[in-house]
Chain A
């Protein structure tokens, strides 16, 4: 098996277990690294105003906006870092950036 694996999310590997030189030997392993935790602001969309122009979709640097191919659906909060480009680019201003702290349960 390569490194990292799913199990390393819960328990980090020791120095004898990891490949040398910091080498990552699992392809596509960035899927395991949920960078959405870095977010300070969260995008919130008013679905009633959205015209599905896909401007947010093509401009999102993290590919964190979900679509079924015809309509904009939701945000992938595992990877959205809250940069706010989608809110800025939206021609009908249907995306607002809300403080992440509001969503802490």
Chain B
């Protein structure tokens, strides 16, 4: 009997619910705001005997990712959660995890990097890790944070992929905001998830292997080339797994979501919770007859350049909303979107916007102003939303 239940949950709790259904053999984590309630809730599931997980309490995030690497090499399912400085402290080991091709799953509650120290949302943590060969999926709300986590497990463990994956949600805004979340039936989800079948296990004495050995000029480059190929495979597998998950949830899992873009003259590109604010703005502006739309990025790594270029080709002006800065360069999302348009014959005009650093709020009126500017068609250097002069 198929039973889905709607519950009032925070994004953090929804992520923990996904972890409960996945029931990983090992979770190694160190608490950091705003990811703390993910691990806290999951620890309660462990204490209450709702999962069989061995919970490893470590002394830092460098250690948590290291413990994840060891456990994943042993062949079991491994998950963790972190934010901001925690992800930054993992940095060295993030590359080890992907370099060793270990399908570790992480919930990342996006938070600004220090300094100045700040606990609120922006995407600078995830963007700092974008070239470390982790698959990165972004979630608009708690429902997506939950479902993307289920998708991530199957994607990461696919034999053509075998790469670690981080599922991002906006710190506090999503992680601590209560929404209605549909939690799908345990048995149905567990059947979808299945079991991890490692290609090699560190603990299999009948088939001894060495994981993570030294590779110098002789093989390192070759190993990295394989990794690049695996990332390209992830693009294809993402859609396949998404289609399968769609049969359970009824939701779609494209590389991105297009909202009212069909005839849109002005399109905003955004990630995570700001997409929700943009949708509300679009609904209102559409009633006034303004042709505005949204392209919400779901898959950031690997990045779907070709598909996005095509999707934006019909617009007159595109505005890209970045919630993290790349100092001395185009901001991360703008850079990718601009790249996506290079091969398009009739390129739309494009405008970069920086907003929301350190959790600075973005409102419907801000997005309406962006749309009005885009509809006027004037583009120039980066504009700032919500910044005091």
Contact = CB atoms under 8 A, between A and B. Distances in A.
B209 A24 contact: yes
Given A23-B211, A25-B200, A15 B101 contact: no
A22 B213 contact: yes
B219 interface: yes
B225 interface: yes
B48 interface: no
B389 interface: no
Given A12-B218, A12-B219, A18-B219, A24 B226 contact: no
A12 B102 CA distance: 25
B222 A21 contact: no
A15 B210 contact: no
Interface string A14-47: 1110111111110101000000000000000000
Given A15-B223, A15-B226, A18-B226, A23 B218 contact: no
Contacts of A13: 219, 222
B162 interface: yes
Nearest to B212: A22
Interface string B82-122: 00000000000000000111100000000000000000000
Interface string B188-226: 000000000001100000011111110100111111011
A2 to B, nearest CB: 8
A24 B200 CA distance: 10
A29 B218 CA distance: 16
Interface in B46-100: 99-100
A22 B223 contact: yes
B240 to A, nearest CB: 20
B99 A22 contact: yes
A50 B226 CA distance: 53
Residue of B101, B162, B209 contacting most chain A CB atoms (<10 Å)? B209
Judged by DSSP, the binding face of A is loop
B127 interface: no
A21 B209 contact: no
Contact of A15 (B199, B207, B225): B225
Residue of B218, B219, B229 contacting most chain A CB atoms (<10 Å)? B219
B219 A21 contact: no
Given A15-B222, A15-B226, A22 B100 contact: yes
B266 interface: no
B230 interface: yes
Nearest to A21: B101
A14 B221 CA distance: 10
Contacts of A14: 222
A14 B218 CA distance: 10
Contact of B100 (A15, A21, A29): A21
A21 B208 contact: no
Given A12-B218, A12-B219, A18-B219, A23 B209 contact: yes
Interface in B152-182: 162
Contacts of A23: 100, 200, 209-211, 213
A13 B211 CA distance: 18
A12 B220 CA distance: 12
B210 A21 contact: no
Contacts of A18: 219, 222-223, 226
Nearest to B210: A24
Contacts of B162: 20-21
Contacts of B102: 21
B346 to A, nearest CB: 38
Interface of A: 12-16, 18-25, 27, 29
13 contacts: A13-B222, A18-B226, A19-B200, A20-B162, A20-B230, A21-B100, A21-B102, A23-B200, A23-B209, A23-B210, A23-B213, A24-B209, A27-B208
Given A21-B101, A21-B102, A24-B210, 17 more contacts: A13-B222, A15-B221, A15-B222, A15-B223, A15-B229, A18-B219, A18-B223, A20-B101, A20-B162, A20-B226, A21-B99, A21-B223, A22-B213, A22-B215, A22-B220, A23-B210, A23-B213
Q: Across the A-B interface, give the 6 residue pairs with the lowest CB-CB distance, nearest first.
A: A21-B101, A15-B222, A24-B210, A15-B225, A27-B208, A21-B100
